[in-house]
Amino acid sequence: MKIAIIGAGNMGGSIARGLASGRLISTSNIVVADPSQATLEKLSSDFPELVTTQNNTEAAANADIVILAVKPWLVDQVLSEIDLRPKQILLSIAAGISFEQLAKCVVAPEMPMFRVIPNTAISEHQSMNLIAVRNITEEQQQLVLSMFDELGVSMIVPEDKLGAGTALSSCGIAYVFKYIQAAMQAGIEMGLRPDDALLMVAQSVKGAAELILNNDTHPSVEIDKVTTPGGITIKGVNELDHAGFTSAVIKAMKVSNK
């Protein structure tokens, strides 16, 4: 199985590193194309067996799967250059570019296609990967799921739900960072050292996520476990609600889905 990654920016580079450090795809079977020689040299220094090139057509020529990791406004231009064959699989991570738009840019509109929406935690192999499919076989779907499961957690969703999923997972990670930043600032105001405050909050967020992911539980159940009658936690939780915390999160998600 040969993989071509067109674009080695934040997402493309992270996917290349993740696949190269995984077990599913041999590193020597991964080709990465990018106009920046410096970017390619950095990748090669980390993974010498990776094949790199500044030529998109050369990268895609012999690939079984072509991962399009370019900015949305470059999709049309790049796809017109590489001239994909019907039996190749096109996998796009370009946000907002639909299957219909992709189909108009390729010679074989009915070729197998995937749209994948990861988030920036992909660099830590902890991304939430949303995957929509078109004209694919069960075997092809399982292969792509396995690839992205090495980079985090993957989920098949209908294309018309990618916007909502993007708001929760791709945009949503920024809202988590916003909470971490705000809680850290509160800690500093209460006299904690910035580094200590950041560790306390970040580890608490990680622990909360692990409780949800590793157990058959619900946020409300976990909140009840730490909110004793008359205690300090319930006072804080109520203050968040009085200040519109829940409403603000919901509004942010809905705005991101527009």
Contacts of residue 133, Cβ cutoff 8 Å, sequence gap at least 6: 113, 114, 141, 156
Identify the bridge partners of residue 154 per DSSP, sorted by sequence position: 129
CATH 1.10.3730.10 residue ranges for the chain: 172-256
What mean pLDDT value characterizes the chain?
Answer: 95
Q: Is the pLDDT of residue 258 over 90?
A: no
Q: How large is the average pLDDT for residues 98-114?
A: 95
Residues of the chain with pLDDT > 70: what percent?
Answer: 100
Q: How large is the average pLDDT for residues 123-141?
A: 96
Structural tokens at position 133:
């499919």
The vertex-205 CA angle with 23 and 200, nearest 5°, equals 115
CA distance linking residue 114 with residue 106, whole number of Å: 14
**Phi, then psi, of 153 in degrees rounded to 5:** -120, 135
pLDDT at 83: 86
pLDDT at 103: 95
pTM (two decimals) = 0.92
Q: How large is the average pLDDT for residues 159-171?
A: 96
pLDDT at 176: 98
Using 50, 70 and 90 to split pLDDT, how confident is the model at 3? very high
CA distance linking residue 201 with residue 184, whole number of Å: 7
At position 76, the amino acid (one-letter code) is: D
Using 50, 70 and 90 to split pLDDT, how confident is the model at 244? very high
Report whether 129 contacts 117 (CB < 8 A).
yes
Helix residue ranges, H only, 105-231? 138-149, 162-165, 172-189, 194-214, 219-226
pLDDT at 123: 87
Decide if domain 172-256 falls under CATH 1.10.10.10.
Answer: no
Q: Is the pLDDT of residue 38 over 90?
A: yes
Residues of the chain with pLDDT > 90: what percent?
Answer: 95
Q: How large is the average pLDDT for residues 136-164?
A: 96
Decide if domain 3-158 falls under CATH 3.40.50.720.
Answer: yes
Q: How large is the average pLDDT for residues 173-201?
A: 98
The candidate with the shortest Cα–Cα distance to 92, out of 17, 6, 151, is: 6
- Which burial class, exposed, middle or buried, applies to 158 when counting CB atoms under 10 A from its CB (0-12, 13-18, 19+)? exposed
